[in-house]
């Protein structure tokens, strides 16, 4: 949900690619390596970790640290957690299903479906396509800029149960000028997916949550996955979601909050087993027709992500992350109290989901800060093994 980048790197242009042609090599799950990598995340500031790797040869699940630091109890094996921006591939999948059904086109403009919504300060919905939204090439400002209360402990505590609507948050984003002309660059903006959710409702007559439920959650029997409206509590069992707003402040319990401000960009709740099932079903072609899956997997350069995942490319709601042995499809998520990282091989045979019960880890004193995302070694080892 929240940006997981350390810097914004300008693109000289947007270049089409079809990443993911080579599948990661199949390997027997290695519990010892996965456990070691999960343990290493504690030094990087993770209170607790749960990681699950699924392959045709079996499933491995490990945990480390504490789900509740005060009680000194581990993360529950079947813990529920907020997946943050891993919600985006769910939303993109529904949009692409509607494309496959002939109910809309990726080349339709936002103005066509949501007249008068994207306008002012140089914003023009007539120039932005549905593809631009799913691809993050719209240039629209992120509405989170207009929600400063999310960035301080006092602001969060005062507003954690506040209910916001997608139209209102999009209107907040329209106060800012776009970063570039549609299609001219790549920049991560949660506004894109609020608009995608609004288009789903305009096309189907149903909220995006209902369409995700009937098109993805129910058919895949994802029994621990929920697309909430504004209900602020996680189902049991769950870890405590810790948030630190400044390095010199203490963690607060951010577990309970209204997910309405995240919406179709980041509100879903799941567990590691369901999340793995979804990733394999998506990349394996069980949710989209071949033409739409190909569109989802057609990527553009996303240099903004280079500081955390070097060489990452972004498709329609899913990113390709290169590794020494090929790469994997992924969409992580960060939301108050929870960090989700994940990946699935191009052949959909191997998937990994990691949940950490904070999205604001502070590295332990004397420990070198990870040069990239703190889970990069874990993910690389999961797909490529160790030397």
Under a CB-based contact definition with an 8 Å cutoff, are residues 317 and 91 in contact? yes
Closest CA to 15 of 127, 137, 116, 120: 137
| 8-state DSSP, 216 | I
Task: Indicate the SS3 state at residue 377.
Answer: helix
Angle at 91 between CA 322 and CA 163, to 5 degrees: 120
Distances (CA, A) of 220 to 35, 158, 235, 295: 28, 38, 19, 22
**Structure tokens belonging to residue 26:** 């199949």
Catalytically annotated residue among 64, 85, 138, 260:
85
Angle at 66 between CA 60 and CA 68, to 5 degrees: 130
Closest CA to 239 of 74, 29, 23: 74
Angle at 353 between CA 352 and CA 355, to 5 degrees: 150
Under a CB-based contact definition with an 8 Å cutoff, are residues 173 and 191 in contact? yes
Under a CB-based contact definition with an 8 Å cutoff, are residues 174 and 119 in contact? yes
d(Cα 323, Cα 304) in Å, to the nearest integer? 18
| 8-state DSSP, 206 | S
Burial 371-380 (b: 16+ CB within 10 A, else e): eebbbbbbbb
Is 351 a known active-site residue? no
d(Cα 214, Cα 205) in Å, to the nearest integer? 13
CA 141 to chain centre: 18
For residue 380, the surrounding DSSP H or E stretch is: helix 376-384
Which of the residues are catalytic? 85
């Amino acid at each position: 949900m929240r940006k997981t980048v350390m810097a914004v790197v300008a693109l000289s242009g947007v270049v089409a690619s079809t990443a993911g042609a080579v599948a990661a090599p199949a390997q027997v799950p290695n519990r010892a390596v996965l456990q070691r990598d999960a343990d290493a995340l504690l030094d990087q500031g993770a209170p607790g970790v749960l990681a699950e790797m699924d392959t045709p040869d079996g499933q491995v699940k490990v945990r480390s640290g504490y789900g509740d630091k005060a009680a000194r109890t581990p993360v529950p094996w079947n813990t529920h957690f907020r997946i943050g921006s891993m919600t985006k591939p769910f939303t993109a999948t529904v949009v692409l299903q509607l494309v496959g059904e002939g109910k809309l086109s990726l080349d339709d403009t936002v103005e066509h479906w949501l007249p008068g919504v994207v306008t002012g300060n140089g914003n023009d919905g007539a120039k932005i396509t549905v593809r631009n939204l799913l691809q993050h090439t719209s240039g629209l400002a992120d509405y989170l800029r207009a929600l400063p209360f999310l960035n301080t402990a006092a602001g969060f505590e005062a507003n954690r149960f506040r209910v916001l609507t997608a139209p209102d948050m999009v209107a907040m984003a329209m106060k800012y000028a776009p970063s570039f002309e549609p299609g001219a660059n790549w920049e991560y903006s949660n506004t894109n997916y609020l608009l995608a959710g609004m288009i789903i409702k305009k096309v189907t007559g149903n909220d995006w949550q209902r369409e995700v439920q009937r098109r993805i959650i129910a058919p895949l029997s994802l029994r621990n996955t929920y697309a909430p409206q504004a209900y602020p509590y996680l189902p049991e069992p769950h870890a405590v979601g810790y948030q630190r707003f400044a390095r010199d402040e203490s963690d607060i319990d951010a577990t309970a909050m209204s997910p309405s401000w995240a919406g179709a960009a980041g509100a879903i709740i799941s567990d590691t087993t369901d999340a793995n099932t979804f990733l394999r079903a998506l990349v394996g072609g069980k949710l989209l027709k071949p033409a739409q899956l190909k569109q989802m997997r057609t990527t553009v350069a996303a240099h903004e992500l280079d500081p955390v995942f070097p060489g990452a490319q972004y498709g329609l709601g899913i990113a390709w992350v290169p590794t020494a042995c090929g790469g994997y499809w992924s969409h992580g998520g960060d939301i108050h109290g929870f960090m989700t990282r994940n990946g699935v091989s191009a052949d959909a045979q191997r998937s990994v989901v990691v949940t950490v019960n904070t999205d604001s880890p502070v590295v332990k004193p004397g420990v070198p800060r990870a040069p990239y995302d703190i889970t990069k070694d874990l993910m690389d080892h999961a797909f490529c093994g160790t030397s």
